[in-house]
């Protein structure tokens, strides 16, 4: 619906979008020239962000990097604004006991799955960065959703794109489209990621070449693969089974979840309930979900990890959570680098090399 409206109103929205893109470009120039103050971490810093809005997979990539850093013995701080969070104080250090309304759903999810990392919520990330550096002396700092947040200097910009970004969404800046900056901003990127299946990525190969070849930066495909289910109340990973199920989610681009769940579970859900992204679940929501599951004969109620962190105090221990893992397979290099998926290409030396730029 939104896309159709933007297309119809394109002649009116185009000049507004052009003006917005110009404002963002001037802002970036002021940061790069030193006119605007920036915080420079003493440790290596990676930004994980995107050019558009929502649904590109920033949180799973940040989670993968946190786990990689722990394996490498690097204490990592992740700086996030914590969308929708209402912290008791700022900066706010998230832990597994943090109330979700204080921490935010994605920060709490990252803290729960990366107990050794320090997840810090604060909309002013140069403040939280300075505080975290003094408190923890980290070996690595990550900026969540940081591509447009230039008040913190970074050594690498990881920029995520969706398949839509390469087609009807290409260089369509707010309000004409979903992009936060114009296409020239992609020149700041060091690594690109595309969230898609390997087959879809291969079909897009020519389009990626056309759009990104002149930038000369590697492009890595990734997807979230469901490995099974877990009870929200805890326990081992379970097989998907063949029982009827109800699916619900409050995430960006839920239609992709429905399609993937149908493949993984071997059948479509009896009911798919969509809540707005970052939805704060209530007891009434849970009651409604249970009633719809009973009415449709669904034996299992299934949600995502992002939803699960907001349901722990609502008596949902019998709900099932999709157990997701990031998988990398395809890649495009625009030089003579030997093809390798991101998890084989990325290493500590590449992080060290970034500091020499």
CA atoms of 319 and 309, how far apart (whole Å) = 12
pLDDT of residue 8: 60
Tell me where in the chain the CATH 3.40.50 domain(s) lie.
Answer: 28-218+333-354, 225-325
CA atoms of 155 and 209, how far apart (whole Å) = 25
pLDDT of residue 1: 57
Helix (H, G, I), strand (E, B) or coil at 217: coil
Residue 98 CA to chain centroid, in angstroms?
21
Nearest to 143 by CA among 177, 110, 103: 110
pLDDT tens column, 195-205: 999 999 999 99
How does DSSP assign 263-292, residue by residue? HHHSS--SEEEE--TT----HHHHHHHHHH
Taking residues 102-115, report their average pLDDT.
94
Q: Which tokens belong to 56?
A: 């590109």
Nearest to 52 by CA among 13, 17, 9: 17
Of the pLDDT bands very low, low, confident and very high (cuts 50, 70, 90), residue 3 is low
pLDDT tens column, 16-27: 888 988 999 999
Q: Which tokens belong to 71?
A: 């394996």
Q: Give the Cα-Cα-Cα angle 330, 333, 336 (nearest 5 degrees).
A: 125
Nearest to 343 by CA among 196, 222, 208: 222
For the cut 90, the answer to whether the pLDDT of residue 36 exceeds it is yes
pLDDT of residue 332: 97
For the cut 90, the answer to whether the pLDDT of residue 146 exceeds it is yes
Does pTM surpass 0.85?
yes
How does DSSP assign 2-49, residue by residue? HHHHHHHTHHHHHHHHHHHHHHHHHHHHHHHTTSS--B--SS-EEEEE
pLDDT of residue 145: 93
Under CATH, which number does the domain 225-325 receive?
A: 3.40.50
pLDDT of residue 273: 96
**Alpha-carbon distances of 204 from 149, 165, 198, rounded to whole Å:** 29, 11, 10
pLDDT tens column, 219-257: 999 999 999 999 998 889 999 988 999 999 998 888 888
Of the pLDDT bands very low, low, confident and very high (cuts 50, 70, 90), residue 84 is confident
Helix (H, G, I), strand (E, B) or coil at 110: helix
Residue with tokens 């119809």: 8
CA atoms of 20 and 24, how far apart (whole Å) = 6
As a whole-number percent, the residues of the chain with pLDDT over 90 amount to 80
pLDDT of residue 20: 85
CA atoms of 229 and 235, how far apart (whole Å) = 10
Range name among 159-163, 187-191, 255-259 with the lowest pLDDT average: 255-259
- The answer to whether 97 and 109 are in contact (CB under 8 A) is no
Query: Cα torsion at 106, 107, 109, 110 (round to 10°)?
Result: 120
CATH level 3 topology of 28-218+333-354: Rossmann fold (3.40.50)
pLDDT of residue 351: 94
């Amino acid at each position: 619906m939104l896309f159709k409206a933007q297309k119809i109103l394109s002649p009116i929205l185009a000049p507004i979008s052009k003006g917005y893109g110009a404002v963002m470009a001037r802002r970036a120039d002021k940061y790069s020239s030193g006119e605007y103050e920036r915080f420079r971490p003493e440790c290596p810093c990676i930004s994980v962000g995107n050019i558009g809005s929502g649904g590109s997979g920033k949180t799973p990539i940040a989670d993968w990097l946190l786990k990689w850093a722990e394996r490498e013995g690097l204490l990592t701080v992740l700086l996030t604004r914590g969308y929708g969070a209402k912290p008791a104080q700022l900066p706010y250090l998230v832990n597994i006991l943090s109330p979700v309304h204080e921490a935010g759903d994605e920060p709490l999810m990252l803290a729960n799955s990366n107990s050794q990392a320090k997840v810090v919520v604060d909309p002013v990330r140069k403040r939280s960065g300075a505080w975290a550096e003094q408190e923890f002396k980290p070996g690595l700092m990550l900026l969540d959703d940081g591509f447009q947040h230039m008040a913190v200097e970074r050594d690498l910009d990881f920029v995520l794109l969706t398949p839509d970004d390469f087609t009807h969404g290409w260089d369509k800046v707010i309000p004409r489209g979903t992009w936060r900056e114009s296409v020239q901003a992609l020149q700041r990127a060091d690594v690109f990621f595309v969230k898609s299946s390997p087959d879809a990525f291969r079909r897009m190969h020519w389009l990626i070449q056309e759009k990104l070849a002149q930038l000369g930066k590697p492009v890595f495909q990734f997807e979230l693969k469901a490995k099974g289910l877990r009870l929200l109340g805890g326990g081992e990973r379970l097989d998907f089974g063949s029982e009827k199920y109800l699916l619900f989610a409050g995430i960006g681009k839920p239609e992709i979840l429905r399609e993937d769940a149908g493949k993984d579970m071997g059948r479509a859900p009896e009911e798919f309930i969509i809540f707005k992204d970052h939805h704060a679940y209530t007891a009434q929501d849970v009651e409604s979900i249970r009633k719809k599951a009973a009415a449709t004969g669904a034996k299992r109620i299934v949600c995502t990890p992002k939803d699960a962190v907001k349901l722990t105090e609502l008596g949902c221990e019998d709900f099932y959570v999709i157990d997701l893992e990031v998988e990398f397979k395809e890649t495009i290099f625009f030089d003579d680098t030997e093809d390798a998926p991101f998890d084989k290409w990325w290493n500590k030396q590449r992080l060290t090399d970034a500091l020499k730029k």
